Amino acid sequence: MNADPTRRRAVGRDWLAALLAPIGVASYVWCPRAHADQSYGPYVGAGAGEYHLRIDNATALGEAIDGYHEYDTAYQFFAGWRFLPFLSLEGQYMNLGTNRGYAGATEVTNKIYGWAPWVVGTLPLGPTAPVVGPIELFAKAGEYWYNYHTDIITPLGQYESTSNTYNHFVWGGGIGVVVAQRIPVRLEYDVLNIQNTSTSNALWLTGAFRF
């Protein structure tokens, strides 16, 4: 005797639901989260920028380099975790490049590179859009552990090299926009407080991917 067609369809739907349930759970766990869940989780990124170094009174490094003032290309790599839509913890490698210039007839080279943990606060502005949005304001603060290597060559050919490790409080902030709900692109300004400098800051353009 044939089973009722309606009952067969109901049983078929039950079997199909049972087979697809594990796939749905796996998709929820492993696939990139959508909508509100995008505000949480890990991210990675990188950036490039310009580092500005000025030394007006460098008695610790010798009077010969007073008035040293240079710019150089800098770069960074970072990874972090968004615990809340407005709060993240971030770890960053930051290389401030090789500043090479002259103070009078004395050649000076500075290399600065190291690691920084940051606390990042973010304020989204406007609605989230499928392609571009929202705009985000952000501020950050951390501690920079870095190696500061200096080479000095005087007009008489005398050579002096020093290398020290320091750590200082750093802070910054900027504005960004989220592309395709997963790629924040940011313009950022950081104050770095490098040892024995009168001015030490960096302007960055960074991009990241939110998983």
Which domain covers residue 7, as residue numbers?
1-31
Residue 160 has a CB neighbour count (10 Å cut-off) of 13
Exposed, middle or buried: residue 196 (CB in 10 Å: 0-12, 13-18, 19+)?
A: middle
What is the identity of the amino acid at 120?
V
60 close to 68: Cβ distance less than 8 angstroms: no
Q: Which of 196, 151, 159, 152 shows the shortest CA–CA distance to 64? A: 152
The answer to whether residue 125 is domain-embedded is: yes
Q: Would you state the pLDDT for residue 34?
A: 41
The answer to whether residue 20 is domain-embedded is: yes
19 and 107 in a single domain? The answer is: no
What is the identity of the amino acid at 8?
R
25 and 71 in a single domain? The answer is: no
Confidence of residue 17 (pLDDT cuts 50, 70, 90): low
Q: Would you state the pLDDT for residue 82?
A: 95
20 and 74 in a single domain? The answer is: no
The answer to whether residue 165 is domain-embedded is: yes
The answer to whether residue 19 is domain-embedded is: yes
The answer to whether residue 36 is domain-embedded is: no
63 and 160 in a single domain? The answer is: yes
The answer to whether residue 124 is domain-embedded is: yes
Confidence of residue 105 (pLDDT cuts 50, 70, 90): confident
202 and 141 in a single domain? The answer is: yes
174 and 141 in a single domain? The answer is: yes
19 and 102 in a single domain? The answer is: no
131 and 179 in a single domain? The answer is: yes
Q: Which of 109, 103, 81 shows the shortest CA–CA distance to 155? A: 103
76 and 135 in a single domain? The answer is: yes
Q: Which of 140, 163, 129 shows the shortest CA–CA distance to 61? A: 163
pLDDT at position 88 over 50:
yes
Could you write out the DSSP letters of every residue in 13-79? HHHHHHHHHHHHHHHHHHSPP-GGGGGSEEEEEEEEEEEEEEES--TTT-GGGTTEEEEEEEEEEEE
pLDDT at position 29 over 60:
no
* Residue bearing tokens 């199909």: 16
90 and 110 in a single domain? The answer is: yes
Tokens of 172: 């910054």
The answer to whether residue 123 is domain-embedded is: yes
Q: Would you state the pLDDT for residue 26?
A: 39
pLDDT one-digit tens code per residue, 49-72:
999 988 876 554 554 455 677 889
Q: Would you state the pLDDT for residue 4?
A: 58
Average pLDDT of the residues in 28-47:
66
pLDDT one-digit tens code per residue, 154-166:
888 778 888 999 9
How many domains does the chain divide into? 2
Q: What is the CATH number of the domain that holds 111?
A: 2.40.160.20
12 and 81 in a single domain? The answer is: no
Q: Would you state the pLDDT for residue 99?
A: 81
20 and 111 in a single domain? The answer is: no
Q: Would you state the pLDDT for residue 90?
A: 98
The answer to whether residue 11 is domain-embedded is: yes
Instruction: Classify residue 11 by its DSSP letter.
Output: H
191 close to 200: Cβ distance less than 8 angstroms: yes
The span from the CA of 91 to the CA of 144, in Å, is 10
Q: In degrees rounded to 5, what are phi and psi of residue 21? A: -60, -50
Confidence of residue 3 (pLDDT cuts 50, 70, 90): low
